Each structure stands twice: as C-alpha cells, then as structure tokens.
Chain A
Amino acid sequence: MAADFLSIQEEAQRRWEGLTAGDRPWIRVGTALCGQAAGADQVVESFSTELETQGVNAQVSRVGCLGLCFAEPMVDVQVPGQGRVVYGNVGPDDVKEIVSRHLGQGEVMADLVVGRIGEVEKGDLPSLDQHPMKAREQRIALRNAGHIDPLDIYQYVANGGYGALNRALTNMTEAEVLEEVNTSGLRGRGGAAFPAGTKWRFLAGSNAPEKYILCNCEEGDPGAFNDKGILESDPHTVVEGIILAGYATGANHGYIFIRHGHDGPIERAQTAVAQAYELGLLGNRILGTDFTFDLEVALTGDSYVSGEETALMEAIEGSRAMPRYRPPFPAQVGVFGKPTNINNVKTMAYVPEIIARGGEWFAGIGHDKSTGTVILCLSGSLNYTGMVEVPMGMNLNEVLNEMAGGVPGGKELSFIQTGGPLGGVLSAAAADLVLDFDIFRSAGAILGSGGIIAADEDTCVVDLTRVLIAFCQYESCGKCFPCRMGMSHMLEVLERICRLEGTPDDLALMRSIGENMQAGSLCGHGQLGFNPVASALRYFPGQFEAHIVEKRCPTGSCRVPHFSPRLSRR
C-alpha cells in the first residue's frame, strides 16, 4: 500500500529536518576507503573527545565519498539552517580548532576550506561546485555520496530514495519498468557495456519459477574503487536498483557479491539490506503489493576471476571461482542452475533515477550510444586523485588535465592505464579520446569499469607491463592451461627484459604465447591477457628496444628491486 510508504517518507522528512535545521550542528566525516586511508577514523574519534571536553552538542555522522579523495579526511560542518562548509586534509589536531572556533564562535577556518555547499553566512568561501574536480560533474549514481549517512535508510528516503520503487510497484507494470530501462540505453558498467535492457529481457522471457538477480561488487581491478565507493557511500541506491531489476524481470532472489575483507562496503551493504527488510521494502509482499523479493550479501575469497560472471556464480555456490563453459548462458542456466541476470554495482545504482525520471531523460545525457554518465576513478601521478562522475562525451584529456589537474611537479603525462590490468596502456597522445564505450573500443582501449591510472614521464612502461602481467599471472584461476602457463611464461620473459637480459626473439615469443592464450582460454582473463603487452608494444616500441638491444632503461624506474606474490593458486 502506498500509504505505508507515505508514512516512511514523512518520518524520513522529519528526521532530515532535525539533522539539517534542528537545534545542533551536523558534522559529516568522509569515511569511505579513501577517508579511512587518510585517517578519518582518528578524526571521528577526536570529534567525540573534543565535543565532550568542550561541552558542545553536535551530531557526528560517518558518510561516504564526495569524490575529492586527495583532500581526505574531509569534514563537512553544517550549522542549523545554513549551508555546509567542507574542510579538507583535516588532521586530529584541526578537530579541536573546528569545534572551538567554528562550532563555538561561528568562525570559519578559511585555510582548511575546500569549498561550501549551499549558502553560508560567514566568510567569502568558494563554492565546492567551482572546484576543478567538481565543476563539470553530473552526479546520478553518486547523487547521495558524501551527503548522507549510508547506515541510515531514512536519510536515503528523505532524498527521494525508494520513491522509484514505490511508483514502479504501485503504478507501473513489470514490462513498463523494463521498457524505461531499455529506453534509457543504459549499458553495463562492469566492462562489457552490454545493454542492460536487452539483458533484462533475456531473463524476463524465462518462465522458470525461480530466477536470480546478481549484483557484482567483486571489483578486483587495481585502480578501480567506484563499486566499493558506491556501496560505501549510498548502498540503498544499489538495493533499490536490484529490487527494481527483480520486479522488471520477474525474479524473486538477489545477491550482492563482495570480496571478503573489504569491511566497509560489506558492513554498509549488509546494514542496508537489513534496514530495507525492516521497513518492508524487501521480503514478502513489498509495500503491501504482490511482489516478493529476497536479497542477501554473499562474500568471496581473494580471487580476481570471481568477478567474471560464471566464476562469480561458482563462488556464490561456494566453490572455486572458475568460469563455466557458455552456452548455456546465465539467462538460461545461472546460479544454482536457475536463470540469472548479472549487473555491476554501477549499472544497478543508475536504475532508481532512470525509473524516477524516465528513460528518455537518461538517454538525453551522454554521447551517441553511450548514454548517461561514467564514473571514473583517477589515481597515479595526478594532482587531484579521486572519483568523478561526468557525462559520456567528455574528452579524456579534459578529465586528466582539467578535472584531475594534470601531472604533479610540472612533469609530462606519459601514458595511462584504463579498464583494469587487462585493458593495457594508452599513450598520452592517444588519450585524446571521447568518453564513449564504442570510441574507446575502436581505438583499441577499454573504458571498462572506469579505473584510470596515470603515469608520468619518469615511468618505465616495460616495468609497468611487468606489474600488470604479474597481477594477471597471480590472479589466473588456473582452469585453462594456456592462461595459467602463458601468464607465468610471459612474466618470466618480461622479468628478463627488465633485468636487461632479454633477446630480440622475446617479443615474438610473447606474441605467440598471447595468441595461444587468446585462442585457448574460456574467459576474458586469458583471452585479453596479452593486451597489456600488445598495447605497450604498440605505443612504446622504443622502450622495449632500449631494454633489449641497447641494454638500458630510458627512465631507470625499473632498476629498483621489485616484489610481487610468488604464491599461486593450487
């Protein structure tokens, strides 16, 4: 019954007003993985100590990621009825000052300010929207990230959350929901960019009584942290998206799949699911309608390949995460032998807004057949590292030079690494690309899940290729021997080249290994396994030649001792 949801919304609104315009200030501390790595936990601890010793009454919340990870720990102070002041690089020592000066005397500490959100009376502060990293952002999937407490379902509802689900269940047929997603042109954000609507239609077409929706947050790509970022910052948008996917396809069971050990995302996803059950948004007869959906969080051990859709199903069933043969495809025979649809966290996170605002609205954003936005994780040699959501169609160079502020120390950008380790490298000159799945693909690059790692001119590309292949070798599941043995062999050759002991035949040897891997592997891990070497050879043949023929490294960066796991899967 819609009336039920109305009372949830009213309660949410009441609580939200209490937080933003009540009788005490609201302090939000960024505590996503980036915040934690910068020491956010100590900042939160300092706040509880300082508020008590100075006798100040304020609400402190642990929120997710605003995207400006380089400025973590970030602290966002809102005095009742006013806009927010966002401080960056806050140390435990700064907390005392914030409590005594900002909360006590209403004085803003201008040197620490990154920007303001909304209007603030005191001080002439720049708007956070004017920050280079923020100015061209358009946030859809990340709309609540850094703004709400991810452990509080009411804060999500107060910001429009579960409204799309309520509308879909009460006013739309299953087919209408599916049609909105189809119209939106939403494509899978996990890497393959397959149209979500088409995928959902495969599952909706099955009459099986038991069907599954899987949401993939394995995210093993080094340099990609947007799936974890979304789950940590706004888990309910993912939960709502999954329920909507279940409704549209007639599935009644779902799993969110995360790697064991990533405690933040796991805890927040589990809490979100439990809260949704409590309010009747999951479980039997959701919101009093005839639709039933059950969702749980499933964990995997350390395995990169478990992010591959069929290996993921093996891991959910509790086995070794090794890919299955296809056909049959998951939409016919998936997890526990039942028809299954798998989407990435980011794909799911878009769904509530698509249903709320309509597929046409989403299709109107973006570039050609790549609709909507793309969430990029910027790391490596860049001035502003972090997570940004920009419309498809922007130029990658603009993202690197304007939003990320270019390379530190006045150095030149040499190359970037996109789409996870298998995506290989792209020279700086080739980075003049429009953000569009198809344009990337035709340029031989992968936009993938949005991880972008930048390397400056002092980086040895042979060395980075070695690291990428060392990663692929370590993570090969071992099922297909061309991948299992090919990766090890290729790593040996690359290590030899890095030691300046390579021979001219080594390049042909690696090519032949790569061809075998491509032909003889079941999943992308082996099929694309040669890509890091192939792309490095395409853009930087001179660097390989220098190592092999001239016996020298042009940058010298591969001349330090290197470490990588020797352990393999048994």
Chain B
Amino acid sequence: MGRQARVMDGLKQRIKKAVQNQPQPTVTILSSLLAVEDELGYIPREAVEEVATFNQATINDVWAVVSFYPNFRTVPPCEHRIEVCWGPSCHLVGAMPVIASVLEAAGMEDEGDTPDGKLTIRYNTCLGACALAPVMSVDHRLAGRITPEKGRELVSKTLDSASGGEA
C-alpha cells in the first residue's frame, strides 16, 4: 500500500470507530457527525459516506445536516482555534475592538483560517460566560474580561505554541 492509501485507510478507520463507538443509545446522522467532528475536527467526504451507510441514509441526507450547522468544517482544522464572542453582552462592553485586535495580531481581515494552517479564528454568538464579557476562547479554554491588549497577547502566545512557530 502506498503512503497516501495508508493515510486514507487510517482516516477511514478513525471515522468508522468514531461512528460505531457512540456511547449514547440514540444514534442519528447528527450525533454521528458530531462524533466524527470530535475525533477529526472536521467532516471529510469519507465521513459523509460512512455516516450515510451507518444510518441507512443517503449522502444527500447527510450533506443536508453538515451544511446546516456552521460548527461543521469540511476541511481539516488548523492547529489552534480561537473563538471571539460578538454577541450583544460582549458587544456592549467592547467586543468589537477586541475582535479587531485579535484579527490584526493574526494578520487576518475576517474570521477564517490563517494561510499557514496554524490558526482558525471564528466569531461565536455566545460562549456562555456573559457576566465576564468580553469573552474569547483558545482551544476551548475560556478567557473573560478580554481587552484588545489581552486578546493580542493570547493570539501571539497561541501562534508561538504552534509547531514551527518562532517562540
């Protein structure tokens, strides 16, 4: 087997395992997709096929669900993920300047992935810690009372810790 075929085989195995080993009794297209997302961080085409087979659904049915929920990515995730809240609670106490400075520190103009694949920045509608607004999260770890300076700092720290980053 060539290298690429082996990688592909490994990917398919991971997908299969994630879909088949769901612990909860009710298994659906959505729950299967969430299991794949937890495992891989994205939904490759192979996962759509596997989820369809496993749930006795069509590929169309599965794409309908993937395309509806914006948490699903269809390309591999970046090394790190920063979410910045833009909801009203955060907005009222300075989320916009925070977002501007986070984007600037990452060399981005809008949400999305950095070209080097190190960082995804995503606007989140509510991270649930509104009393400590403005809020952001770095790789799922929440951070509250963010100022533009703190936001910039968190981005640099994250980029430094990314592989190949210059610390």
Contacts and interface: CB of A to CB of B under 8 A. Distances in A.
The yes or no verdict on A and B being binding partners is yes
Interface of A: 33-34, 36-39, 41, 69-70, 72, 219-225, 228, 255, 260-263, 294, 296-304, 315-321, 377-381, 385-387, 417, 421, 451, 453-455, 459, 464, 467-468, 471, 474-475, 477, 560-567, 569-570
A277 to B, nearest CB: 12
Task: Give the interface SS of chain B, mostly helix, strand, loop or mixed.
Answer: mixed
B154 to A, nearest CB: 12
B70 to A, nearest CB: 5
B89 A302 contact: no
30 contacts: A33-B142, A34-B144, A37-B144, A223-B126, A225-B130, A261-B71, A261-B140, A263-B140, A296-B26, A298-B24, A298-B31, A301-B70, A302-B70, A303-B69, A304-B125, A318-B31, A319-B28, A385-B131, A386-B131, A464-B88, A464-B92, A471-B87, A474-B125, A477-B68, A560-B100, A561-B100, A563-B103, A565-B70, A565-B111, A566-B110
Contacts of A317: 28
Nearest to A454: B92
A379 B129 CA distance: 9
Interface residues of B, number: 53
Contacts of B48: none
Nearest to A320: B68
B24 A296 contact: yes
Contacts of A220: 125-126
The 10 tightest CB contacts between A and B, nearest first, are A318-B28, A301-B69, A222-B87, A37-B144, A69-B131, A37-B129, A385-B131, A379-B130, A222-B126, A37-B142
Contact of A69 (B37, B132, B140): B132
B131 A225 contact: yes
B125 A569 contact: no
Contact of B68 (A378, A455, A564, A569): A569
A422 B26 CA distance: 32
Interface in B127-167: 127-133, 135, 140-145
A561 B96 contact: yes
B128 A262 contact: yes
B91 interface: yes
A246 to B, nearest CB: 16
A222 B97 CA distance: 19
Given A223-B88, A299-B31, A317-B28, A453 B132 contact: no
A387 B32 CA distance: 35
Contact of B64 (A70, A221, A319, A563): A319
A201 to B, nearest CB: 27
Contact of A318 (B65, B88, B99): B65
Contacts of B90: 222
A228 B143 CA distance: 17
Contact of A379 (B25, B32, B72, B133): B133
A299 B130 contact: no
Interface in B10-59: 24-26, 28-34, 37, 55
A224 B127 CA distance: 10
A317 B55 CA distance: 11
A377 B128 CA distance: 11
A563 B96 contact: yes
A222 B99 contact: no
B93 interface: yes
Contacts, number: 184
A464 B93 CA distance: 11
A155 to B, nearest CB: 24
Nearest to B23: A270
Nearest to A384: B131
A300 B30 contact: yes
A299 B34 contact: yes
Contacts of B64: 319-320
A196 B87 CA distance: 31
Contacts of A37: 127, 129, 132, 135, 142-145
Nearest to A468: B88
Given A318-B29, A459-B92, A379 B131 contact: yes
Given A34-B131, A37-B144, A298-B24, 13 more contacts: A38-B132, A222-B89, A318-B28, A380-B92, A385-B133, A386-B131, A421-B88, A455-B92, A464-B88, A471-B125, A475-B125, A563-B96, A569-B67
Contacts of A41: 141
Interface of B: 24-26, 28-34, 37, 55, 64-65, 67-72, 85-93, 96-97, 99-100, 103, 110-111, 123, 125-133, 135, 140-145
B132 A565 contact: no
A570 B92 contact: no
Contacts of A378: 131
Contacts of B142: 33, 36-37
A74 to B, nearest CB: 12
Given A34-B129, A41-B141, A320-B68, A464 B91 contact: yes
Given A222-B125, A301-B71, A303-B68, A319 B86 contact: no
A66 to B, nearest CB: 12
Contacts of A453: 88-89, 92, 130
Most chain B C-beta atoms within 10 Å of own C-beta, residue among A294, A300, A316, A380: A380
A563 B29 CA distance: 32
B44 to A, nearest CB: 17
Nearest to B109: A563
A304 B132 CA distance: 21
Nearest to B71: A302
A197 to B, nearest CB: 28
A114 to B, nearest CB: 15
B123 A565 contact: yes
B128 A225 contact: yes
B31 A570 contact: no
Contacts of A468: 88
A39 B154 CA distance: 14
A297 B132 contact: no
Given A303-B69, A318-B55, A471-B87, A560 B131 contact: no
Given A222-B89, A301-B71, A320 B130 contact: no
Contacts of A69: 129, 131-132
A563 B99 contact: yes
B126 A321 contact: no
Contacts of A380: 88-89, 92-93, 133
